Amino acid sequence: MNFSLITKLPHVGTTIFTKMTMLANEYGALNLSQGFPDFDTDPRLTGLVADAMKEGHNQYAPMIGVQALRDTIAKKYESIYNILVDAQDEITVTAGGTQAIFTAIATIVRPEDEVIIFEPAYDCYAPTVELFGGKVVPVRLLAPDFRIDWTYVKGLINDRTRLVIINNPSNPTGKVLGREDLETLAVLLDGTNALLLSDEVYEHLVFDGAQPQSVLNIPRLRERSFVAASFGKLLHTTGWKVGYCIAPAAFTHEFRKVHQFNVFSVNTPMQYAIAEYLHDIAYVRGLADFFEKKRDLLKAGLQQSRFHVLPCEGTYFLNLDYSAISSEKEVDFACMLTRQHKVATIPLSAFYKEPTDQQVLRVCFAKQDDTLQKAISILAHI
Per-residue pLDDT at 315 exceeds 70: yes
Q: Residue 89 contacts by C-beta under 8 Å, 6 or more apart in sequence?
A: 249, 252, 253
Pick the range with the lowest mean pLDDT from 11-15, 104-108, 182-186, 366-370: 11-15
φ/ψ bin of 202: left (φ > 0), alpha (ψ from -120 to 50), beta (otherwise): alpha
What are the CA-CA distances from residue 289 to residues 36, 205, 207, 311 (Å)?
Answer: 18, 8, 7, 17
The per-residue pLDDT for 298 is: 98
Spatial distance between the Cα atoms of 97 and 95, rounded to a whole number of angstroms: 7
Ranges in the chain annotated CATH 3.90.1150.10: 16-35+285-380
The answer to whether 276 and 48 have CB atoms below 8 angstroms apart is: yes
Spatial distance between the Cα atoms of 314 and 232, rounded to a whole number of angstroms: 16
Per-residue pLDDT at 84 exceeds 80: yes
Pick the range with the lowest mean pLDDT from 244-248, 259-263, 353-357: 353-357
The per-residue pLDDT for 1 is: 59
Q: Convert 15-40 to b/e letters by CB count within 10 Å (16 or more is b).
A: ebeebbbebbeeeebbbbbbbbbeee
Report the topology of domain 43-279. Answer: Aspartate Aminotransferase; domain 2 (3.40.640)
Torsion of the alpha carbons at 100, 96, 125 and 115, rounded to the nearest 10: 20
Spatial distance between the Cα atoms of 108 and 197, rounded to a whole number of angstroms: 10
Per-residue pLDDT at 14 exceeds 90: no
pTM for this model (two decimals): 0.96
Arithmetic mean of pLDDT over the chain: 96
- In this prediction, residue 11 has a pLDDT band, given cuts at 50, 70 and 90, of confident
Per residue in 240-250, pLDDT (tens digit) is 999 999 999 99
The per-residue pLDDT for 3 is: 75
Per residue in 209-220, pLDDT (tens digit) is 998 899 999 999
Mean pLDDT of 336-364: 96
Per-residue pLDDT at 135 exceeds 90: yes
Q: Which CATH class is domain 16-35+285-380?
A: alpha beta
Ranges in the chain annotated CATH 3.40.640.10: 43-279
Pick the range with the lowest mean pLDDT from 136-145, 194-203, 279-288, 315-324: 279-288
